[in-house]
Amino acid sequence: MAIDDEGDGAGAGAGGTPPAVPVGGSAGRWRRLRSSPPQFRRVGIALGERINAMSYLPKWLILGTTIGIVAGLGAVVFYEALSLATHFFLSYLAGYHVPTPAGEGYHFGSAGYSRPWAIPLVVVLGGLLAGFIVFTWAPEAEGHGTDAAIDAVHHNPRGIRLRAVVVKIVASALTIGSGGSGGREGPTAQISAGFGSFMARLLDLSPEDGRIAVSIGIGSGIGAIFSAPLGGAVLAADIVYRDDFEYEALLPGVFASVIAYAIFGAFFGYHPLFAIHGLLVFDHPAQLLWFALLGVIAGAVGLLYAGAFYGTIRLNAKLPFTHKLRPALGALFVGLMALGVPQVLGTGYGWVQRSLDNQLAHIPLAVILLLPILRIVATSLSIGTGGSGGVFGPGMVIGAFTGYALWRLLEGVAPGFGHDPAPFVVVGMMAVFGSISRAPVAVMIMVAQMTGNVSMLAPAMVAVSIAWFMVSRLDKSIYVSQLKRRADSASGRLRFGLPQASSLSVADVATPPRLVLGDHVLVREAREALDVAGVPGAPVTDEQGTYLGTVEHDPLAMLESEGRDSEPIGPVVDATTPAIAQGESLDSGLDALLHAGGGWVPVTGGDRRVVGILAVGQLVRGYRRALVRDLDRVAGVRSGSVSVEERIGPHSVLAGRAIRDVDWPAGCVVMTVQHDERLTFAVGETELAEGDVVSALVPIGGVEGARQLITGEESGEREPEEADQPMV
């Protein structure tokens, strides 16, 4: 499997293999997923073949519903885990009861600390336990899980480990339950996104479908835990890009979010998280000036939030001691802050409810004005030092404090300002996090559902637009894994440069593998086989020949150096490496190549057996052949030809035949074929079916013959249409 003069590898593919991903910066440890048991794989193959053969709507009705069920149950599990941790750490150990919002019992909470000395100790204990668990078993679970899920959408939808999901649940419950400032949406997003990633592996979903599965996992998990299903559905499409929209995820996101909300609500009720007493009504246009001012302040606070959070992460990376202890250091400062300002502890949702009800009037104005900043600092110290939790929830708490602070500052002083803080609290939540998350539409809908009030959407649009403009001008986001737009993805850029890749199939360019290893092969034998073949990696299969993943030279050599050369290679098989079905278009193959690191991917046939290797060099040569072929075809187009577009009718002789097997009129060049909703460039091997729409360039004299050939109807049977226009 040596690399040839055009950059191909015959066993592991062109340009070398995708690099293994080191965990936690350690050169000797590798991020990998263990393969499923054989009987489980058989079921997955059977289900995958059926689901992948379905059309868009039934396929995503099934997948979206399944992801929604897991998202709902995952939200229930994490909610209970967090409640248990909060009760144990803060209520039992520290003797402090946190306030809760209306949707969670409307408890006022403790008036003060019965054991003040215990607060810092309890917060540190939670950070210490969370740091040990995360950096021992799943270092990728540190920080906020939503950003990790967004990164998986763009770079490897199959790559979220189920172990990381479990660790995220436990570590986040410890971090937030002990008083750390974090949101519960990150863990729930990672639960359902992780299941979407698992389904992509189990069912062998295409790279595009894998991205959608992880995206709707993010949205449905967050929508469930916040009782905001519509917001969650829109969030699935809105959150993965800064200035774009993943529209393919919108309808599946609706399926998943509704199911997740239904399951979560069955346990905890179908009511908004926050309650607003009285009716909020926007009835005075002059108030828009004050909401515009709130938008300016919210944009600045959002930028401060992102800057402080990632500044803390950079500072944390320079600390001279182990990662396991760093969350405890951040927790110590949070615990000390909480002695004077208890509003920085936990999720903070109870304090948002009290600000909506104007029950913070007893707090001095100077402290109220500092609350957004103190909450930013607490979140940065809790999560930015390696703790586990979300940044979505704290972002909305910061926004609520921002709106309340502006209301306290100007109430009774500014004309037409109003005597109810609720409108400013609601719009503050929307504006701060809607801007810095770069998902303004989704966040506005979500907050409206969380508060059970849509009357503030009009002033919110003013505030959110201004805040979003400020943030977008600096191109900042709290989610650094977001891409700016769809075209900025690696696959999008390459597709733009290779527009005719969809006219080829993977089978057109793939080559047979030089080396395929069984999972029972010993480490020593596998490394020797790679050396003999001259390749850095190879596909791995089970005893039935089913593709399991890939193995590479470096992790094998590492195991040998540790004296484990007589063990089977199973533990170092990377199940996240995607395989591409030989019948897929080269567009999908390009996606798979990029997710695998840009070098090579296995090509599978029936029963997910390895039948070939797709490598970069092969792709380029195949694309070059397609260009030459198309130039030859187009060169035959005559001056004065017209375009013809017709649907293959039930009596047409084209149904069931390949384009090259059809006796087309002289000078006719078939350009594209639309099958269902998929438009592809026409090639000789393209199979035609009844209902396909065929577009062709035809000499004027052959128009009627071409139409009759495609539709299968005589000229007198057709309805009169507008005359064809000559090609310019």
pLDDT at 83 over 90: yes
Q: 146-169 burial by CB neighbour count: b if 16+ within 10 A, else e?
A: bbbbbbbbbebbbbbbbebbbbbb
Q: How far apart are CA 661 and CA 657, in angstroms?
A: 7
**Per CATH, which fold does 43-109+118-270+284-486 belong to?**
Clc chloride channel (1.10.3080)
Between 725 and 470, the higher pLDDT residue: 470
Average pLDDT score, the chain:
84
Arithmetic mean of pLDDT, 253-277: 94
Task: Determine the pLDDT at residue 28.
Answer: 34
Task: Determine the pLDDT at residue 684.
Answer: 76
Task: Determine the pLDDT at residue 350.
Answer: 95
Question: What is the separation of C-alpha 160 from the centre of its chain, rounded to a whole number of angstroms?
Answer: 11
What is the rounded (10 degree) CA torsion for 226, 232, 234, 239?
90
Arithmetic mean of pLDDT, 277-283: 74
Maximum Cα–Cα distance for the chain, whole Å?
94
Percent of the chain with pLDDT over 70: 88
Instruction: With beta carbons less than 8 A apart as the criterion, state whether 416 and 284 touch.
Output: yes
Between 501 and 123, the higher pLDDT residue: 123
Angle at 595 between CA 233 and CA 133, to 5 degrees: 70
Task: Determine the pLDDT at residue 37.
Answer: 61
Task: Determine the pLDDT at residue 241.
Answer: 92
- In angstroms, what CA-CA distances link 552 with 520, 562, 677? 15, 16, 39
DSSP string, 383-400: HTTT-B-BSHHHHHHHHH
pLDDT at 455 over 70: yes
The number of residues making up the chain comes to: 728
- By DSSP bridging, strand 610-615 and strand 600-604 are antiparallel
Q: Any idea where the domains of the chain sit in the sequence?
A: 43-109+118-270+284-486, 490-620, 638-717
The class that CATH gives domain 490-620 is alpha beta
- In angstroms, what CA-CA distances link 713 with 24, 391, 647, 698? 67, 62, 11, 18
pLDDT tens-digit map of 62-78: 999 999 999 999 999 99
* Cβ atoms within 10 Å of 387's Cβ, excluding its own: 32
Q: How far apart are CA 614 and CA 593, in angstroms?
A: 8
Q: How far apart are CA 253 and CA 67, in angstroms?
A: 9
Q: 307-339 burial by CB neighbour count: b if 16+ within 10 A, else e?
A: ebbeebbeebeeeeeebbbbbbbbbbbbbebbe
pLDDT at 379 over 50: yes
Judged by average pLDDT, the poorest of 35-44, 80-89, 505-514 is 35-44
The class that CATH gives domain 638-717 is alpha beta
**Residue 698 pairs with which residues in a beta bridge?**
642
Task: Determine the pLDDT at residue 492.
Answer: 59
pLDDT at 325 over 80: yes
- Tokens representing 500 are 């005719």
Q: HSE on the CB side for 171, CA within 13 Å? A: 38
Arithmetic mean of pLDDT, 177-201: 91
Arithmetic mean of pLDDT, 674-695: 81
Task: Determine the pLDDT at residue 638.
Answer: 63
**Residue 687 pairs with which residues in a beta bridge?**
658
List, in sequence order, the alpha helices (H) in 106-184: 118-137, 145-155, 162-177
Task: Determine the pLDDT at residue 158.
Answer: 85
At 159, the pLDDT band (50, 70, 90 cuts) reads confident
pLDDT at 18 over 60: no
Arithmetic mean of pLDDT, 468-494: 83
pLDDT at 723 over 50: no
Arithmetic mean of pLDDT, 141-156: 85
At 495, the pLDDT band (50, 70, 90 cuts) reads low
